[in-house]
Structure 1
Amino acid sequence: MAKEIERKFLVTGEGWRALAEAAVSIRQFYLDAEPDRSVRVRIREGAALLTLKFGVHARIRDEFEYTIPLADAEEMLDFAVGCVVEKTRYNVRHGGHLYEVDVFGGDLAGLVVAELETPEDVPNSALPAWLGREVTGQTEFYNASLALHGRPGEVA
């Protein structure tokens, strides 16, 4: 089990694009999504992961992750709650930290969110300028909420 400190931000600038190292297409869906827990299946690059997250604290939660057969993941799609979230994830490094910038497609097109997962809390002064408003703890920006309820009303 790993503890993670996770922060989420809306992305307002394009400065991150010049720093992007890699891009990968992701499809993910939820088998359960509650305020204190979620069960997610993520498919990327021909592989599938089952992730369980527990906890109500926005920045720190318990996370368990397991590789599962791709065929099983495709079958589990029949049990998804909400819609499938489709996005392209870009890895962007800044200040010695890795940011995952998600550019959403489909019904969520236009939404761009950056996540920073670290073992330590990064001070605001060390964050890149292309990050906009922090949305850590705003559940409408959690991927599970996006799958269940769609795009939040205000993203600027």
Structure 2
Amino acid sequence: MLELSNPQKYAQVERERRFLVARLPFTPMPASPCVDIIDTYLPSAQLRLRLMQRPDGSPIAYKLTQKRHLPELPAYAVLITNIYLSAEDYALLSGLPGATLRKRRYPWVDNGVRFSVDVFAGALEGLVLAEVEGASDAEVAGVVLPSFASREVTAEPVFRGGSLARLTSEEFQRWRASGYQEGRL
């Protein structure tokens, strides 16, 4: 069997922090820049199939992504590998079993920091998260809690996409009523 000297050769470190949003910092308008995202988390919990599309349904990108949370990395960092797919490859892979979530992503700048604000739909209707990415540990660590967020949830695994996608509407509503307490799922 062939041994790989560096199995993560094509992975890169992604640094992002996530925040639970208490209130949207803006009122979405029909002309607001946004992208609709449909994520399907495959049973391995490390693989995600993503469709990014404009609000009119026209596709922007199809991706297969692997995210690996490693104990030696800070909570805000993961190893990520993206493969961009054709529409045909996406259609083929979308037949695999998985848990799906839908969200609309808006760009937002707060105190000079660019955030992606995700407004979830379907079973997660009412959940709003903001993410900020950075190129270095210092850049990501220097971000303060945005004025429109209630708390940081980066280190809480339940706020990762794969966990959220597996929630039923009833589970989500109970969890939301508890104030998003991790042990209440």
How has the CA–CA distance of structure 1 residues 33 and 117 changed in structure 2, closer, same or farther, with 3 Å as cutoff?
Answer: farther
What's the RMSD between the two structures over aligned residues? 2.3
Contact 1:92 1:98 in 2 (8 A): yes
Kindly, what percent of the aligned residue pairs are identical? 31
5+ residue gaps, structure 1, are none
Residue 55 in 1 paired to residue 69 in 2? yes
Larger Rg, first or second structure (1 or 2):
2
Letter matched to residue 53 of structure 1: K
* Greater fraction of residues in strand: 1
* Counterparts of 2:18 and 2:84, CA distance in 1: 25
Aligned length: 150
* Counterparts of 2:84 and 2:43, CA distance in 1: 18
User: TM-score with structure 2 length normalisation?
Assistant: 0.71
Q: After TM superposition, where is structure 1 displaced by more than 4 Å over at least 4 residues in a row?
A: none
Residue 105 in 1 paired to residue 115 in 2? no
1:6-155 mapped onto 2 (5 Å cutoff): 6-17=16-27, 22-34=33-45, 38-45=46-53, 46=59, 47-56=61-70, 57-82=74-99, 84-119=100-135, 120-123=139-142, 126-150=144-168, 151=172, 153-154=175-176, 155=179
User: TM-score with structure 1 length normalisation?
Assistant: 0.83
Structure possessing the higher relative contact order (Cα contacts under 8 Å, 6 or more residues apart): 1
5+ residue gaps, structure 2, are 1-10, 54-58, 181-185
Contact 1:33 1:144 in 2 (8 A): no
